[in-house]
Amino acid sequence: MSLKPLHDRVLVQRLEGEEKTKGGIIIPDTAKEKPMQAKVVAVGPGKGKAKMTVKKGDMVLIGKYAGNEFKVDGKELVILREEDIRAVIEK
């Protein structure tokens, strides 16, 4: 299925969190925090005359509870406004 966000919305996929601590303790799924790093999957056209500053493939930082989460084709995705993106990670 293909999704195209509207207006100033961005579709992202959160990156997987750590499975173990540095000491070697395995973290169960129920105790894991939501990862803040995500990959941009799709970008809307922008709102009004304002153009979007992120593009597909960008790595970004988002808030733990930002946006709305849902599943499509077995993938967990988040849709949020561009203003909810905290930063773009540059390589």
pLDDT band, residue 64 (cuts 50/70/90): confident
Q: Convert the pLDDT of each residue in 29-43 to its tens digit.
A: 565 566 789 999 999
- What burial letters (b/e) apply to 20-43, b meaning 16+ CB within 10 Å? eeeeeeeeeeeeeeeebebebbbb
pLDDT higher than 70, residue 18: no
At residue 28, the pLDDT reads: 63
